[in-house]
Structure 1
Amino acid sequence: MLTLQEISDRMEIQDLMVRYSHAVDTGDWDALDTVFTADALIDYSAMGGSKGGLAETKEFLASVMPGFGAYQHLIANSSITVDGDTATGRTMCHNPMVFKGEDDETPGPTMFCGLWYLDTFTRVDGEWRISARSEEKSYMYIAPTA
């Protein structure tokens, strides 16, 4: 049976992952400062992205995300293991991304990305943060426009 602390930790970590998704989906790169530790290692290379620290990751996202007209990070099926002030997690992500078309009004092809986030979490000053994140690729499919 889970203790109240374990339940609270898991809920706080799940909220953290939702905050990550919202920050990326709204382009609020500074909000990532409240999601990751200052020294986090973030590895998006399995899906063709960057690998580096928080500053490099924010720069990467700010440079590539404007090329998409729409996108969503849909996360589910988190498996979280808490051990005191550290935790690990594996979370499924379905991420449809619509490329911009010829003009900003016309959508281009849609890329469907399926992956798992592999995370290490650290409690910092009483709040959970992601201290390491990598991605495990499941699928990537680009559906042509109609």
Structure 2
Amino acid sequence: MLSLQEISDRIEIAMLLDRYAGAIDRIDMALLDSVFTPDAAIDYTAFAEWGGIAGSYPEIRAWLAAGLPRSPGFQHIVANKEIALDGDAATGRILCLNPIVLPVADTDGRPRVGFHGLWYLDRYVRTAAGWRIAARTEERCFSHNFPEPAHA
């Protein structure tokens, strides 16, 4: 049986993950600031061939702010939230399905939509402001309907 604290922690972390997806999809950097710790370590290099980088939260924040507007549209759908709690810390393995409208058209002139399937491997910490992501690494599952990377 789950304690009230564990139920609360799980709901709060699930809300944190949804807030991340919403912040990214709306390109809302102020909202994103409420998701990560200021010193979070983030590794998006599982998709390095399309420009994914690793760095501190300030570096990743600047990279996202510059890169996200290049796409006409995208969504980050988070599910299968496997969370392991340990007091004021937790880890998670979170499924993400990421459809992206690409800035190139298909041969018939219609927008091309690519899909990434991945997991976020996270470390969370409870802060005075609530749960935050202290570390995130992407683990790639698949990519579909993307053109070959320009530098491949």
Q: TM-score, normalised by structure 2?
A: 0.87
8 A contact 1:98–1:107 mirrored in 2: no
RMSD (CA atoms): 1.6
Task: Tell me how far 1:24 sits from its aligned partner.
Answer: 0.3
Residue 92, structure 1, aligned to residue 95, structure 2: yes
Which position in structure 2 is the counterpart of 1:33?
33
Structure 1 runs (4+) deviating above 2 angstroms are none
Which position in structure 1 is the counterpart of 2:150?
none
d(CA) in 2 for partners of 1:135, 1:4: 31
d(CA) in 1 for partners of 2:129, 2:27: 26
Secondary structure of 2:145's counterpart equals strand
d(CA) in 2 for partners of 1:100, 1:9: 39
Which position in structure 1 is the counterpart of 2:19?
19
d(CA) in 1 for partners of 2:37, 2:130: 10
Superposition pairs of residues 56-67 of structure 1, within 5 angstroms: 56-67=59-70
Which position in structure 1 is the counterpart of 2:6?
6
Secondary structure of 1:110's counterpart equals strand
Indicate how the Cα distance of structure 1 residues 107 and 35 shifts in structure 2: closer, same or farther if over 3 A, else same.
farther
Q: TM-score, normalised by structure 1?
A: 0.91
Aligned length: 141
Which position in structure 1 is the counterpart of 2:141?
138
| Residues 112-121 or 44-53, more deviating | 44-53
8 A contact 1:119–1:132 mirrored in 2: yes
**Equivalent pairs: percent with the same residue?**
47
Unaligned 5+ runs, structure 1: none
d(CA) in 2 for partners of 1:17, 1:63: 22
Secondary structure of 1:34's counterpart equals coil
d(CA) in 2 for partners of 1:62, 1:143: 22
Q: Deviations over 1:41-66 (max 9, x none)?
A: 01111122110111111111112211
d(CA) in 2 for partners of 1:133, 1:73: 15
Superposition pairs of residues 46-57 of structure 1, within 5 angstroms: 46-48=46-48, 49-57=52-60
